[in-house]
A and B are shown apart, each in its own frame.
Chain A
Amino acid sequence: MIDDIVLKIDGIDVFHGTFQSLWNVSLEVRRGEMLALIGANTAGKTTLLDAISGILHPTKGTIEFQGKNIGGLDPYQIVELGITQVPEGRCVFSDMTVLDNLIIGSYAGSARRKRAENLKTVTDLFPKLAERKRQVAKTLSGGEQQMLAIGRGLMADPKLMLIDEMSLGLAPIVVDEIFKALAKIRARGITVLFVEQNVHRTLKEADRAYILETGRVALSGTAADLRDNAEVKKAYFGIDACEVT
């Protein structure tokens, strides 16, 4: 069971300058699962992903990836170890071509040697990216940019993929397409930790979820349990717990 835990976060505090964003947060990601992080806008979801990615360093607590403490490493070292983040707002390199965006995804460590193989995986997953590979990234639609951001992340040959707010601003039909792609990514053995605002949808897609509130873990459990949880229903589905019981 211990071996099944790919990422273990234990009691971390994280600050933005002097402002504390995370308080004693603990979280475990199991190998091969699809884990969701839910919470309101300032709950600390992106902060938690940035702490894992090494953009921010915890002042207290530990982050272990495959048994190795990664809490003090720089972002590029984290990517080399096999954790990649698809950032909120896609953040594709807008003046570079689609192909160059994907190539830069394979910058780190051993990913360069698997560039051709991973490029094929990405273009199989998102055929639109192959059609538009010579286009400058800023000319893509929002949905295509999200596909590019995920594809770029896959080029890093990750073991664990962190995806931040991927459905933000996208049409439901595009969101469906991306969730389908995520299922395929997961089928390739890549563990996925994703952040979402759409709680209903998230609890349908994820295996488990953690709910963050003002920088603390408020609840966690399997998606099915959380769907039935009275507090979750009250807070996120707008159903009064009293009426349900």
Chain B
Amino acid sequence: MGMGSGDVITPLIIGIMLGGLYALIALGLSLIFGVMRLINLAHGDLVILSSYIAYALLTYLGLDPVLGLVISIPFMFVLGFVIQRYLLGKGFAVSSETPLIIAFGISLVLQNLNQILWTPLSRGLNTSYSRMSFFVGERQFPVSYLLDFVAGIVVMLALRAFLTKTYMGRAITAASQDKRAAQLMGINTNRVYGYAFAIAMGSAAVAGTFLGMTFPFTPTSGISFLTIAFGTVVIGGLGSMLGTFFGGIILGVFQTMGGYLFGPASQMLIVYVLVLLILAIRPKGLFGR
């Protein structure tokens, strides 16, 4: 698509819906950074691991990917708790850089594990509905994009409600603002970190599933989605689920509108120029506190 071809509304709507997927991927990254000040370099690969779990459930058990969340969310939740408790938690005791290296190690292990298990060929979650289209007037959109957007809103609202309405959620927020004061309030911060990571991984399970219904994926796809999640979090600002959601939407819209105006080759360039500008002008992010 070059400049002026087609209407401007279609890429705008696609950008908003895709933004829901980007937000979905970034919510877990944002939560972990907000609570533990850790850039989880394995986040993209953990999302892709979830895509493969959904793929395995669909291929071998014939389980619909959305229904498969009943298995993949608890699995990723427990995996997240274990990773925090037995890998990252030990790293934090050594130094603040150690968990970063550990996360990088997890990323490499997952990529290679997925290569061995699934070969480097690209896979996708093909269901009866994910390749369907829906119409808004004359305009045609993939159903999977709409599902991404809905899933993004649902997970964002669920995380927000959890963080503001439950004891564990408030404890996660408190520990992210002042660890020592949180401890003095009787909060077991190690346990809170475990739950925060587990919940972030639960949201990664949802992200991986909807990602797999939208785009083909390979064992190394995690890196590009980690980059998109970084961009989302930079735009939206860390610590706020709502901010991360809008960050995803803005990134999605800049990507599709950039592609519409300047051609598909420059769409991600537009996005990362935006990310750099925000880092320079407003490093807290547009919605950051």
Q: Within 8 Å CB of A105, what residues of B?
A: 185
| Inter-chain contact B167/A91, CB cutoff 8 Å | no
Residue tally, chain A, CB below 8 Å to B: 27
Chain B residue contacts of A75, Cβ below 8 A: 183-184, 186
Q: Which residue of the partner chain, among B174, B180, B187, contacts A87 with CB atoms under 8 Å?
A: B180
Flag the segment in A6-14, A96-104, A191-199, A210-218 that touches B. Answer: A96-104
* A95 adjacent to B177 (CB under 8 Å): yes
The segment out of A107-115, A173-181, A227-235, A237-245 that lies at the interface is: A107-115
Kindly identify, within residues 125 to 168 of chain A, every residue whose CB is under 8 Å from any CB belonging to chain B: 152, 156
A23-31, A61-69, A77-85, A116-124: which lies at the B interface?
A77-85
Instruction: Provide the residues of chain B in CB contact with A100, threshold 8 Å.
Output: 164, 170, 173
Query: Does B171 have its Cβ within 8 Å of any Cβ on chain A?
Result: yes
Asked if B7 CB lies within 8 Å of chain A CBs, one says: no
Contact of B181 among A93, A108, A156 (CB under 8 A): A93
B178 touches A (CB below 8 Å): yes
Beta-carbon contact of B171 and A107 below 8 Å: yes
Q: Are B188 and A74 in contact (CB under 8 A)?
A: yes
- Distance A107 CA – B171 CA, assembled complex (angstroms): 8
In angstroms, Cα B90 to Cα A26, docked, is 34
A112:B184 contact, CB within 8 angstroms: no
**How many whole Å from A194's CB to the nearest CB in chain B?**
15
**Is A76 at the interface (CB under 8 A from chain B)?**
yes
Min CB gap A165→B, angstroms:
14
Within the complex, which residue of A53, A80, A95, A109 is in contact with B184, where a contact is CB–CB below 8 Å?
Answer: A53
Please tell me if the beta carbons of A55 and B183 are within 8 angstroms of each other in the complex: yes
Contact (Cβ within 8 A) B186 A96 = no
Cβ contacts under 8 Å, B164 to chain A: 100
In the bound complex, residues from chain A placing their C-beta under 8 Å from that of B171 are 104, 107
Known pairs A95-B289, A100-B164; A80 contacts B186 (CB<8 A): yes
Expressed in whole angstroms, the Cα–Cα distance for A109 and B177 within the complex equals 22
* Closest Cβ neighbor of B181 among chain A residues: A91
Distance of A131 from chain B, by nearest CB (Å): 21
Q: Which of B164, B174, B185 has the most CB of A within 10 A?
A: B185
A127–B186 Cα gap in the complex (Å)? 25
For window 166-216 of B, CB contacts with A under 8 Å fall at 167, 170-171, 173-174, 177-178, 180-189
- Please indicate the chain B residues that have their CB under 8 angstroms from the CB of A42 in the complex: none
CB of B289, distance to nearest CB on chain A (Å): 6
B167 contacts which chain A residues (CB < 8 A)? 103-104, 107, 112
Q: How far is the CB of B259 from chain A (nearest CB, A)?
A: 37
Contact call A156/B180, Cβ cutoff below 8 A = no
A94 within 8 A of B: yes
Pick from A74, A80, A93, A107: contact of B177, CB under 8 Å? A93
A173 to B229, CA, bound (A): 51
- A93-B178, A95-B177, A112-B167 given as contacts; is B184 within 8 A of A85 (CB)? yes
CB nearest to B170 among chain A residues: A104
Say whether A156 contacts B186, CB under 8 Å: yes
Question: Smallest distance from the beta carbon of B59 to chain A beta carbons, Å?
Answer: 44
Bound CA–CA A242/B178 (angstroms): 48
Contact across chains for A103 and B185 when beta carbons are under 8 A apart? no
How many whole Å from A6's CB to the nearest CB in chain B? Answer: 18
B193 CB → nearest A CB, Å: 13
Q: Considering the chains assembled together, what is the distance between the CA atoms of A136 and B178 in angstroms?
A: 15
Is the beta-carbon distance between B174 and A104 smaller than 8 angstroms? yes
Contact of A96 among B170, B180, B184, B187 (CB under 8 A): B170
Question: Which A-B residue pairs are the 7 nearest by beta carbons?
Answer: A108-B186, A79-B186, A91-B181, A75-B183, A76-B188, A85-B184, A93-B177
Chain A residues with a Cβ under 8 A of chain B? 53, 55, 74-76, 79-80, 84-85, 87, 91-96, 100, 103-105, 107-109, 111-112, 152, 156
Residue contacts A-B, CB under 8 angstroms, 24 given:
A74-B183, A75-B184, A75-B186, A76-B187, A84-B185, A87-B180, A87-B181, A91-B178, A91-B181, A93-B173, A93-B178, A93-B181, A95-B173, A95-B289, A96-B173, A100-B164, A100-B170, A104-B174, A104-B185, A107-B167, A107-B171, A107-B185, A108-B186, A109-B186
